[in-house]
Structure formats: C-alpha cells, structure tokens
Amino acid sequence: MEVCLWLITSDRVFNPKQEYIMPVVRVSWFEGKEHAQKAAVAAEITESIVKNTGTPAEYIYVIFEDVAPSDWAGAGKLFGETPATP
C-alpha cells in the first residue's frame, strides 16, 4: 500500500514524494454558480497555466470558494445589504 502526502499552503501544493511544486488557484465568488460554469472556468484557468508556465495539467488545482453575498464586503458594506432609499 502506497501513501501519498500532500501539504497545502496558501498558494501551492507540495508532494514530497515527487518534489513538485504545483499551482493552486482559489476562485472566490458569490455562491450560485452551476457545475457547468465551474467546469468551464477550471478548464480555462488550467489551460492558461499550462500554456504560460509549461506546468502539466495534472499538477494544477482550482478551488472554488462559494461565498454568500452577506459574507462579502466591499467599500465597507456587505454586498447582501439592500441600499437604503432616500
């Protein structure tokens, strides 16, 4: 039985057995995207990294973080809040 250890850091994955540094791309966006949308985005991100760095696709990871609008703020205001009417 072979055990493979993966260490995950904020921006890369390191596989001690193979000694590869592998890109990890995190996509944070509002929840509600469909599976097909995520698949298309993951494919395009992977293709771009392969094309621009030569990293084999099997070593590229894309992680989707679906965030509720009420859990994300911009300019000091939560996106899930309805603006007050004057």
Overall size of the chain counted in residues: 86
Q: Which of 16, 23, 56, 86 is catalytic?
A: 23
Task: Give the separation between CA 56 and CA 71, rounded to whole angstroms.
Answer: 35
Residue 86 annotated as catalytic: no
Residue type, 77: K
**Start-to-end CA span in the chain (Å):** 67
Catalytic site residues?
23
